[in-house]
Every structure is written in C-alpha cells, then in structure tokens.
Amino acid sequence: MEIIADLQIHSKYARATSKDITLENLEKYARMKGLNLLGVGDFQHPLRRKEIDEKLTEDDKGILRTASGFPFLWQTEVSLMYKQNDKRRAIHLLIFAPNRKTADEITAFLGSKGRLDYDGRPIFGMTARDLVFEMKKINDKIEIIPAHCMTPWFGLFGSKSGFDSLKECFLDQTDKVYAIESGMSADPAMLWRFDEVSKGINVVSFSDAHSFWPWRIGREATIFDIPELSYDNIMKAIRTGEGLKATIETPPEYGKYHWDGHRLCNFSCSPEETKKLNGICPVCKKPLIIGVDNRVEEVAKFPAGHRGKSSKPFYKLLPLHEVIVLWNDSRLESPKTWVAYNELIKKFGNELNILLRVSKESLLGKNVDTKLVELILLNREAKIKVAPGYDGEYGKALIEEKQETLI
C-alpha cells in the first residue's frame, strides 16, 4: 500500500495560520493534492482537541478518520527555548501519539509545564533531551522528530540557535530519535553529508503547512510503502527505513532560508559571497543571517554527492500552482490560475499524479497547452530555476530564465 503523507500540519489555533484551516478543508485539499494521510495538528490545544473529538473517529490501529474515511494521525509540534552550554537554544519538535489515551497523557504532561491554550505550537523551557525522556516514559511508541532541521532560528542544526549534532542536542536520549525532517530550505542530499545521517538517521519531509491551499499542504511529503495503514507501520518505516519509499521536496532554493541575507535590507548572497563580505551585510553593516546552504558546509563531514546507508530516493518539485504561474504570468491565488489548476485536476485526478506520473503523451492528448506541458516536465526533472529564498523570504521560480525544452 502506497501512502503519501504530510505529517506536519497546524490548526487555526497556531500563530500565523489561516483561520479556515479546518479538518474539512484539510481533507478537501489533501484529496485534491493527492495525499492520503495527514497529521491532525496541534492536538494538545483544547479547542483543536474539541474539534478532533467531534469530527474524527479512532480505529484500533491508531488512525483517526473523518466521516468519509480520510485518515489522520495524532500529531503536534512544540517549540523549546532554553540555554545549554551558555548558548540560547531553540528547536521545534514534532510529536506523534499512537492513540487517544497516549495523546491525553502527552497533553497532561505538557499542561503541567505551561499553558496550552494560547498557541497551537506552545513554547516550553525544557531541553530537547528532557522532552524525549519524558515522552518515552509515557509510551515508547511516541515518536519525536526534529522539524525543518536546518532553519536558522528553530532548526536542530540551525545557524542561530542550533547544534552541530544530534548527540549534542539529545545527549543520552539520542538513540531514541530515529529521523529528522528536511524542511523546505534543505534536501536529503545535503543531510546525507552529516555523520549521524550517513550512519542511519532517516530523513523525512513534511510541509509545515499553515494553510490548506495546495501550494502549501503537501508541498513536501513522505511516500510510504507499507502492508496496511496503521500508526505502527508508519512509525516502523520512519524508525527503520523499511517501508520508507521516498520523499517529495521543494527545490531547496524555494525555501525561506536557503541563502544568507537580510530581508529588511533586500539583500541576499551565496555562501561564497558571504565569505568575501566577512559575514557582514553591505547595507546595514550587521552580521548576515546565515542560511541553510552555508550552514550545511559547517556541519557536513562528507563531500557533496555522499550517500549514507539509509538514503532514499527523493523528488524535487515546485507546487503545480507555481508551474501554472510561470505559464500564465499570473498570481498563485488568482482566478486565472485556479481555472487552469482545476481543469488539470478534473482531467488527471490530483496534483501529485500530474507532477509525478502523467506522461507527456497523456498531457498533450488531453489538450493541455504545449508550453504548460513543457513546464510540468521541466519541473519533474528539477530543471526550473529558482532564485534562492533568504531570511524568511520564499525563493522565486524564474519566468525569464530560458528553460531547456523537453517537448
């Protein structure tokens, strides 16, 4: 059974999220995207939990389902801020629970450490090591995965507040962390160069969606190949790599923190240029925010191209809306773009089917414009150029670039 899963979702109760990110909208757009499993998001928040209890039913395999049968997993994300070795640390961790009882116990523990009602992604002062220790005391089936592991401010390996290794972060609990999440500004090939990843830490990918729109949800996802859908089978794949088939990644340049720079100064640059500038912004004369591309070189133990023993295939894809925008020179959310998008979905079923599988012949046979077909195929080959994102700014697919023709 192939399962395409996006397991880093937020609810409308988290900061900077859409007020319409309901379970109904998540299901609707997940089906349109081609996803068949989602994280429920923010399950410890009292209002989100009320929504879950009212609208989802749990089966005996730890899967929550809507009335129409769409599956979710118990999932949340927490933010930890603390000091270790005289340095400010900040890290976002995903937490997965095998069932409602365990979700209740996690919620009770988190509630004993701080308020749960002010933000869907609550902040705590405990260390990452202590959180893992306490979660495993509740139930060894609880899974903890560092989210967007390379981003500067809240990534495990982040340049501003992160660590140089999992061991430095999780200490004596490191052997209870089995995977890291790549995040939009990095891809697995970058992470395979790290010592611990090369030795067997698995890499998964999820969207960190703050809305349900198809250019957000499922923009990064993980493909599982498992006997049947159950919490245990999903987590076995994440822990062992057996059944972890591939990941779907946006091009790293598309992420908000790929290059170095300052958003307010409208300045960004490559790691090579940063070195020439001695890390100082030429506009404001303050230290640049060091992005993922640069930070990888600081942490990596192996040269580019190294593959670890646990490495899996991955696909680099821009969301279909971005491809359409290159074709029609419009905006992501414009009616013009939606008309083209909906026509494609009507013809070919779902977005990931279009991005990954539908042949050139089938696209042309259904009267898809030749230029759009060309861009879909270029995207599939990761040949659409992207101006790198930096310091919180998304990267931009380049309309003016001369793209190699595949037609």
How many whole angstroms separate alpha carbon 360 and alpha carbon 377?
Answer: 8
Residue 51 lies in a domain: yes
What confidence score (pLDDT) does residue 28 get? 98
Please give the C-alpha separations between residue 387 and each of 49, 52, 398, in angstroms, as whole numbers: 40, 39, 7
What is the DSSP secondary structure assignment for residue 133, as one 8-state letter? Answer: H
What pLDDT was estimated at residue 52? 98
pLDDT at site 407: 42
Is 388 inside a domain boundary? Answer: no
In a domain, 323, yes or no: no
The whole-angstrom separation of Cα 99 and Cα 296 is 36
CATH number of the domain to which 239 belongs:
3.20.20.140
For residue 360, being part of any structural domain is answered with no
Question: Does residue 277 sit within a domain?
Answer: no
CB 311 within 8 Å of CB 246: no
286 is a domain residue: no
| Among 208, 171, 16, residue whose Cα is nearest residue 93 | 208
- Name the CA dihedral angle for 334, 339, 343, 346, rounded to a multiple of 10 degrees: 80
Grade residue 400 by pLDDT with cuts at 50, 70 and 90.
low
pLDDT tens profile 150-203: 999 999 999 999 999 999 999 999 999 999 999 999 999 999 999 999 999 999
DSSP annotation string for 290-328: P-HHHHHHHH-SS-TT---TT---EEE---HHHHHHHHH
Whether the CB-CB separation of 295 and 158 falls below 8 Å is answered with yes
188-231 residue pLDDT tens: 999 999 999 999 999 999 999 999 999 999 999 999 999 999 99
pLDDT per position as a tens digit, 312-331:
999 999 999 999 999 999 99
- Report if residue 176 sits inside a domain: yes
Res 310: pLDDT: 82
Domain total in the chain:
1
Distance from C-alpha of 6 to C-alpha of 206, rounded to nearest angstrom: 5
> Is 300's pLDDT higher than 70?
yes
- Residue 32 forms part of a structural domain: yes
Domain of residue 155 covers: 2-251
Q: Is the pLDDT of residue 405 over 80?
A: no
Each residue's pLDDT tens digit, 348-387: 999 999 999 999 999 999 999 999 999 999 999 999 999 9
